[in-house]
Structure 1
Amino acid sequence: MPLSYNHQVTLLKDILNNHQTDCCGTVAECEQLERLVKSLMVNTQVSQNMKNILQEIYQYSQTGAGTADLDQHIISHQGNLSQWVNEIDQFS
């Protein structure tokens, strides 16, 4: 059973919040972010503003999944993580 739009957005925010508060994460979480973003990008409920944010999150997750030091990647994006969550709250 696929996740609803609201559940997808909640899961997306949860992973981003965890990265922001824990300053660490896993490749599996980055891959999950990629799948969530792909699914949300084709959803007609998603505004263009939200799609712009999702594109940034997709880049973040792709780079994170391929980096040798994921924790450092997450730490270097601390400002973006909280900003993305705030913007998702605004546009979703």
Structure 2
Amino acid sequence: MPLDYGHQLGLLKDILLEHQSDCCGTVAECEQLERVIKSLLANANVNENIKNILEPIHTYSQTGKNSPQLNEHIESHQNILTEWINDIDSYS
């Protein structure tokens, strides 16, 4: 059963919170971010403000999954992770 919009945003936020709190992550989490973002971007009912947030998160996940130092990549994005989480909260 596919995840609905609310569950997709919740999953996106959960992964970002894990990256923020643990300062580490996995390639699988980056790939999951990409799949959820792709689905949200394809959904015509998603708020445009959310779609604007998704683009940089997608870039973050792509860069992260291809990084030889994923944990350092996550650590270098701590401030923006907080901003993205707050943005998701404000639009969901």
Report TM bin, short chain: over 0.9
In 1, the alpha carbon distance for the partners of 2:53 and 2:9 equals 12
Which residue does 2:16 correspond to in 1? 16
CA distance in 2, matches of 1:49, 1:14: 19
Q: CA RMSD in A?
A: 0.7
CA distance in structure 1 between the aligned counterparts of 2:78 and 2:57, rounded to whole angstroms: 12
Structure 2 letter corresponding to 1:20: Q
- Residue identity opposite 1:22 in structure 2: D
Shift of the alpha carbon at 1:50? 0.8
Equivalent position SS for 1:3: coil
Offset at 1:90? 1.1
Per the normalisation by structure 2, the TM-score is 0.97
1:69-88 alignment runs, 5 A limit: 69-88=69-88
Report what 1:37 is aligned to.
Answer: 37
Aligned-partner Cα distance in 2 for 1:6–1:79: 24
Q: CA deviation at 1:46?
A: 1.2
Q: TM-score, normalised by structure 1?
A: 0.97
- Structure 2 letter corresponding to 1:86: N
Does 2:57 correspond to 1:57? yes
Q: Give the unaligned 5+ runs of structure 2.
A: none
**What is the aligned length?**
92
- Structure 1: 5+ residue stretches without partners: none
Deviations 1:32-69 (A, max 9, x none): 00000000001122121111100010000000000000
Looking at structure 2, the residues matched to 67 and 23 of structure 1 have their Cα atoms a distance apart, in angstroms, of 15
